Chains A and B, each alone.
Chain A
Amino acid sequence: MTASPATETPPSDRRRRPGRSGRLTARDLQGALYASPTLVFVLFLFVVPLGLVLYMSTNKWSLLGGKQGSNFPANFQQALEHPMFWPAVSFTVKYTVIATVLLIGLGLCLALLVQESSRWKGFLRTTVLVPSALGLASASLIFYALYSPQVGPVPRWMQALGVTDAVVSPLGTPDGALWATVFLIVWRFAGFYMLLLLVGLQAISRDVYEAARIDGAGTLAIFRRITLPLLRPSLALSTVMCVTGSLLAFDQFFILTKGGPDGSTMTIVQLIYNVAFETKRDLGLAAALSVIVLVALVVINVFQLRVLRGSDEK
């Protein structure tokens, strides 16, 4: 959390506040009034649904029939025993590792390439960033067409390069579908991580580099001994965001592969959707899966922050 709690009293307040502490002044009430829309949003659109998902996960709750009595450990048991649960978890983790390594690596390379400002570098930044303005759904639809043997160029390129024997969609095999989706994600998000890391790079003082150069350090040594360690907070932030985002992957797989072929690209969030709306139409089970995802995500993030911060202090 980077919030700096500013609790100083404004000067105007000091004038009006009577000596007694612990009593609300008119100004405090005004403050509470300004915060009330936030309170309403947080209560009714965050706290209540969060409570509801916990409640639903302990009840038998069908999509059409609503609540049908308590079903406490059963939903969670069913969730863990669902035939697609562990395959979905392992695929999601595999995808997360690949996407994070590629995105952070490429994001860092791009940030280094466009670091100083010149007209060409400004243009480059814009071209890499423009896909960020597009929705994940639009991006997926573009790539769905690019990958189609009917109109897209990619299957022909793949055949020409000898990757495939015939003009076929790369989405047809489990590995092809995974890498095709990873390529789409890298295209859509590389600019985002480039920008995040660029902000970090530009926060490093030029004096540090100059001092190192005067001491005779080479480019590689400077990168390893100065840039990387000083970039650590930005790298940590990018990694946490990328891991979180990838673990929750949904749109890209829903549109490109629908979890196929044969459920080989089913992510955990897609499984929640399928259970809720397609196969079982069981909101209780879907809620249990949602709760599992939430708990796993909180644990993973706490762990990541601890590892990344812990090594930061050394």
Chain B
Amino acid sequence: MITVRQVFARTPYYVVTTGLAIIFMYPLLWSAWNSVAPNPGTAQVQGYGFGNYATLMHYQHGLPTYLWNSVVISVLTVVFTMLVSTLGGYAFARFTFPGKNLLFLLTLSILMVPYATLLIPFVVWLKTIGLQNSLVGVALVLSMFQLPFATFMMRISFEAVPREIEESAYVDGCTSFGALRRVLLHAVKPGLITVGLFAFLAAWNDFMVPLYLLQGDKAPLPLALVGMRQQVMGVIDYGSTQAGVVVLAVPAVLLFVALQRHYVAGFMSGALKG
């Protein structure tokens, strides 16, 4: 039974939390609204419409080029991260080999080294190995920065699988790779989704790595949008910038809300404690 007094006691709580919800929602909703709303100095001066999106389509190399670059970088980063961390996690959880602990510690120590320290040498190093201004090069760099979290996450995922499951696969004549592919991969799927989600969000949203390593028609969308805001002197076209933000935000937010459980699982795992 909720008494009148309890309702009154709870009122401040609902006022405060509603206020917080509004503050946190407002910037995103404002941005989405203003990407189609009329504003002076934008491509949408009168009435509601998609004028800002049309500007974006033809801005320099065009939205399709930038979007394609973002998709390539994100997909490659997710694939590299999942592949390397699955095999690595399997190796660290189920095998013994010389240098195992050293390699694991070295992988975790990537966390200690900031982006800013490694990007200067990457400018030189990627040129040396022929990956200058290359989407693959940037995806490799982004995957490397994902490895500490991803490897740790996959290692504990494999360690949590009961050995009996694998045993029966071996009894049925599976090789270690067969056991991984047919049995274990299914068991570590939640961990793998978490790793993929973190890698996708990091790669899709990253600005700093492309800023150092990509330019011109190889720029992903975040880099192109920031360039857009610097390009025009005097009057800045805020409309098309917000349209670009919406294009970037929609896939990230949808995926995030759909896979929120797996995002939270990443925090529960302790993998962030590296």
A/B pair count, beta carbons within 8 Å: 285
Q: Is the CB of A5 within 8 A of B30?
A: no
**B182 interface residue (CB < 8 Å to A):** no
Q: Judging by beta carbons under 8 Å apart, are B108 and A187 in contact?
A: no
Q: Is the CB of A272 within 8 A of B120?
A: yes
Distance in Å: Cβ of A270 to nearest Cβ of chain B: 9
Judge whether A142 is part of the interface by a CB distance below 8 angstroms. Answer: yes
B136: chain A residues at CB < 8 Å are none
Closest to A199 in B: B267
**Given A42-B106, A52-B121, A130 contacting B257 (CB threshold 8 A):** yes
A10 at the interface (CB under 8 A from B): yes
Q: Determine whether B133 belongs to the interface, using a CB cutoff of 8 Å to chain A.
A: no
Does B1 lie at the interface of the complex (its beta carbon under 8 Å from any beta carbon of A)? no
Instruction: From A76-84, A172-180, A205-213, A293-301, give the one contacting chain B.
Output: A293-301
Residues of B in contact, count (CB < 8 Å): 106
Q: Nearest residue in A to B23 (C-beta to C-beta)?
A: A187
A150 in contact with B273 given A6-B159, A135-B206, A135-B207 (CB within 8 Å): no
- Which A residues are in CB contact (< 8 Å) with B110? 42, 46
Q: When the two chains form their complex, are residues B253 and A248 in contact, meaning their CB atoms are under 8 A apart?
A: no
Tell me the complex Cα distance, A126–B28, Å.
13
Complex partner residue of A31 from B95, B147, B159, B204, CB under 8 angstroms: B95
In the complex, A124 Cα to B94 Cα: how many Å?
A: 41
Cβ-closest chain A residue relative to B255: A133
- Contact yes or no, B104 A248, CB < 8 A: no
A272 to chain B, nearest CB (A): 6
Residues of B with C-beta under 8 A to A2: 270, 273-274
Q: Encode A20-51 as 1/0 by CB contact (under 8 A) with B.
A: 00001001111111110111011001111110
Known: A48-B125, A148-B236, A287-B121. A28 touches B95 (CB 8 A): yes
Pick from B33-41, B59-67, B187-195 the stretch touching chain A.
Answer: B33-41
* Interface flag for A290 (CB, 8 Å): yes
Complex Cα gap A130–B206 (Å): 17
Find B117's partner among A24, A127, A294 (CB 8 Å cutoff).
A294
* Nearest CB on A from B236, distance (A): 7
Does B57 have its Cβ within 8 Å of any Cβ on chain A?
no
Q: Given the complex, which residues of B lie within 8 Å of A129, measured CB to CB?
A: 256, 260, 263
Chain B residues with CB under 8 Å of A301's CB are 112
* Cβ contact within 8 Å between B163 and A11: yes
A95 at the interface (CB under 8 A from B): no
A131 contacts B116, C-beta separation under 8 Å: no
Contact string against B for A residues 115-133, beta-carbon threshold 8 Å, 1 for contact and 0 otherwise = 0000010011011111111
Chain B residues, CB < 8 A from A237 = 272-273
The 0/1 profile, CB within 8 Å of A marked 1, for residues 73-114 of chain B is 000000000011101101111111110110111111010111
Instruction: Report if A7 contacts B (CB, 8 A).
Output: yes
In the assembled complex, how far is the CB of residue B44 from the closest CB belonging to chain A, in whole angstroms? 11
By a CB distance below 8 angstroms, the chain B residues around A7 are 96
CA distance A98 to B110 in the complex (A): 27
Which residues 125-172 in A have Cβ within 8 Å of B in the complex? 126-139, 141-146, 148, 150-153
Q: Kindly state whether residue B167 has any CB partner on chain A within 8 Å.
A: yes
Helix, strand, loop or mixed for chain B's interface?
helix
Please give the number of chain A residues whose Cβ is less than 8 angstroms from any Cβ of chain B in the complex.
97
Main secondary structure of the interface of A (DSSP, over half): helix
- Residues 194-219 of A, flagged 1 when their CB comes within 8 A of B and 0 if not, give 01100100000000000000000000
Instruction: Decide yes or no whether B238 CB sits under 8 A from chain A.
Output: yes
Is the pair A123, B114 in contact by a Cβ cutoff of 8 Å? no
CB of A40 to closest CB in B, whole Å: 8
Asked if residues A144 and B229 are in contact (CB atoms below 8 Å), the reply is yes
Query: Which residues of B are found within 8 Å of A136, using beta-carbon distances?
Result: 205, 207
How far is A52 from B113 in the complex, measured between Cα atoms in Å? 14
Given contacts A34-B87, A49-B125, list 20 more A-B pairs with CB under 8 A. A3-B108, A3-B155, A7-B96, A24-B97, A27-B176, A28-B96, A31-B95, A39-B103, A41-B147, A52-B121, A56-B124, A120-B17, A124-B20, A130-B24, A131-B27, A133-B257, A134-B249, A139-B27, A142-B242, A145-B242
Interface residues of B (CB under 8 A from A): 13-14, 16-17, 20-21, 23-25, 27-28, 30-31, 34, 39-42, 83-85, 87-88, 90-98, 100-101, 103-108, 110, 112-118, 120-125, 140-141, 143-144, 147, 151-152, 155, 159, 163, 166-167, 170, 176-177, 201, 204-208, 211-212, 222-223, 225-226, 229, 235-236, 238-239, 241-242, 244-245, 248-249, 252-253, 255-257, 260, 263-264, 267-268, 270, 272-274
Give chain A's interface residues, CB within 8 Å of chain B.
1-7, 9-13, 24, 27-35, 37-39, 41-42, 45-50, 52-53, 56, 61, 63, 66, 110, 113, 120, 123-124, 126-139, 141-146, 148, 150-153, 187, 190-191, 195-196, 199, 237, 241, 244, 248, 250-251, 254-255, 269, 272-273, 276, 283, 286-287, 290-291, 293-294, 297-298, 301
The 14 sampled A-B contact pairs (Cβ below 8 Å) are A28-B97, A32-B97, A35-B91, A42-B147, A52-B124, A110-B20, A126-B260, A128-B24, A131-B24, A133-B201, A133-B257, A135-B222, A137-B223, A290-B118
